[in-house]
Structure 1
Amino acid sequence: MFNLAPMFDMAPSALALIFIAFCLGGLVKGVSGMGLPTVAMGLLATVFPPAQAASLLFVPTVLTNAWQLATGPSPFAALKRFWPMVTANAVMAVACAGLLASAYAHYATVLLGVVLLVYAVFGLSGRRLPAPAHGGERWMSPAVGLATGALTGGTGVSVMPAAPYLQSLGLDKEALVQAMGLSFTVSTLGLGLGLWLAGGFAAQSLTGSALALIPAAIGMAAGQALRRRVSQTTFKKVFFVGLLALGAHLALGG
């Protein structure tokens, strides 16, 4: 299963892009607790087909988010509260992942660019979604899960609208990071299963995905160090401006 030959067959420029993409994705995650798949998928999609880019993300995304979930205050409490959201998320991610491996993958790249643009504009606005009305979480969570799963399956990125929705719930910092870890883990597992069922997840991809843990870990370590030196406000502005440019490039040139 772990065959190194496909990696050696890649052009040096492609290998360099993989290294840079996961270093930058890890850096963002180290600073903010999220953003590895968003950044890495956006960069990888400029060169690789969407299904291959999503496959390369699988191991680093699952392991880092599972760790984020497991080290939070109460994984079982998070699962008990958000199981309707993550169940709907997983089902839709599996159902929609075929787009990345289909003849319409070109549109997946454009859709990814649009999602990144919307996320960047929303982030730069400084606004938050309004909290659900009393009792509204019971129907909002599954709806958000369905939308997140559909976008995960169609773009390979699981941040929208799950992250803004979770931020609207007034969770404390640790519980929020844990809830996002749960949502992103389930999204990625659903995406991986959906790609495999659609024939878009080659076993050889696991080699590159496992090796991508190295630059992702380097980036996360750097991000954790940077977090102590740069304000969250400054970092978020730079992050979202970069995401805006990347999203525009993919949406217009995809």
Structure 2
Amino acid sequence: MPRRAKVDRKVIDNSLLLIGLAFALGGILKGATGAGAPLIAVPLIAMLYDVRLAVAVFALPNVVTNAVQVWQFRDARVPKLSLRFALAGAVGTGVGTLALTALNAAALLLVVAAVMLLYIGFRMARPDWSLSFALASVLAWPMGALSGVLFGISGLSAPVSLTYLNATGLDRRNFIATVTSLFLASGLVQIPLLLWYGIMSSQTILLGLAAIAPLLAGMPVGAWLARRISKQVFDKTILALLCVLAVKLVWDALT
């Protein structure tokens, strides 16, 4: 049985503010871009505490916020693409969550850091990469599955899910409808497995419930910022922040 993500009373008191800040920053990114909240929240929590704790705390906010967006953008779904992507992601999440139970803390930190660096590198190297819609529909199965595996292991699927969907050329509404379908399906598989393996506890559930409010509060702030600064400046700022977080995670894992 893997180690449970335990949190004592003192850690909980300190965590409420820190995790709230992490989720507020994640909400700002999600509000500005339509996705990406775990890119901020999960590495920050993992850096401060533990990857398993980060994944467990983010599980409930992930399901709640993406269920809301799936409903809001239900008329913008791309039926074949969205369904394939979500189903494959759900299966991949099951595999990734099993891996989460087996890897040690240092290995998990390195996985999260590697996932972030992969995303940063791909964004910088191939900003204009694109796919035809026909090929994108075929690739929805393997890309969804790989996204799910990464999500299950680290709570982050952006290196695959966001770059893949960006390359399809979907407009904003279709993009949000498709990516939130993946996140919701993955979350619905993830939570029962986290509970079964003892990674998700009553304490992490309470922290996750508390984190929903700052996540939702940050989203309109991100939407407001996105209207006032260029997309290029915002993207570079986020990539720089993610790079700093990734380097810190590698340092923590190795030391």
TM-score (norm 1): 0.88
Inter-CA distance 79–106: structure 2 relative to 1 (3 Å threshold): farther
Equivalent in the alignment of 2:88: 88
Amino acid of the residue matched to residue 188 of structure 1?
A: G
The residue that corresponds to 1:3 in the other structure is none
Secondary structure of 2:49 counterpart: coil
Q: Which residue of 1 aligns with 2:112?
A: 112
Identity of aligned residues (%): 26
8 Å contact kept, 1:96–1:194: no
One-letter amino acid of the counterpart of residue 131, structure 1: L
Q: What pairs up with 1:220-239 in 2 under 5 angstroms?
A: 220-239=219-238
How far residue 94 of structure 1 moved from its aligned partner, in angstroms, is 1.2
**Which residue is equivalent to 2:4?**
none
Secondary structure in structure 1 of the residue aligned to 2:11? coil
String of CA shifts for 1:109-145, please: whole Å, max 9, x gaps: 111011111112222346143315x743454111111
State whether residues 47 and 252 of structure 2, in contact with CA within 8 Å, keep that contact through their aligned partners in structure 1: no
SS at match of 1:136: helix
Gap change, CA 1:184 and 1:129, over 3 Å in 2:
farther
Q: Which moved more, 1:151-160 or 1:35-44?
A: 151-160
Alignment-derived partner of residue 45 in structure 2: 44
Letter in 2 for 1:17: L
Please report how far the alpha carbon of residue 46 of structure 1 lies from its aligned counterpart in structure 2 after TM superposition.
Answer: 0.7
- Counterpart of 2:159 in structure 1 is 160
Cα 1:216–1:183, aligned 2, differ >3 Å: closer, same or farther?
A: same
Counterparts of 1:138 and 1:237, CA distance in 2? 29
Matching residue of 1:249: 248
Q: CA deviation at 1:207?
A: 1.1
**Distance of 2:137 and 2:237 partners within structure 1:** 35
Structure with a larger share of its residues in helix: 2
Q: Relative to structure 1, is the Cα distance of residues 239 and 138 closer, same or farther in structure 2, using a 3 angstrom cutoff? A: closer
The size of the alignment, in residue pairs, is 247
How far apart are 1:204 and its partner, in Å?
3.0
Instruction: Say whether 1:69 aligns with 2:73.
Output: no
Question: Distance between the aligned counterparts of 2:134 and 2:20, measured in 1?
Answer: 45
Q: Contact between 1:111 and 1:251, CA under 8 Å: does it hold in 2? A: no
The residue matched to 2:202 in structure 1 has which SS? coil
Summarize the Cα distance change of 1:7–1:209 in structure 2 as closer, same or farther, 3 Å threshold: farther
Aligned to 1:127: 127
For the 8 Å contact 1:65–1:184, the answer to whether it is kept is yes
Cα distance, 1:11 vs structure 2: 5.4
Measured at CA, do residues 169 and 153 of structure 1 come closer, stay the same or move farther in structure 2, by a change above 3 Å? same
Aligned residues: CA RMSD: 2.2
**Partners of 1:73 and 1:175 within 8 A in 2:** no
Following superposition of structure 1 onto structure 2, how do residues 179-218 of structure 1 map, counting pairs within 5 Å? 179-218=178-217
Q: Is the 8 A contact 1:30 1:223 kept in 2?
A: yes
Larger displacement relative to structure 2 (224-233 or 113-122) = 224-233
Q: Is the 8 A contact 2:81 2:178 kept in 1?
A: no
Counterpart position of 1:18: 19
Q: Which amino acid aligns with 1:163?
A: L
Tell me, in whole angstroms, the C-alpha distance in 1 between the residues paired with 2:236 and 2:126.
10
TM-score (norm 2): 0.87
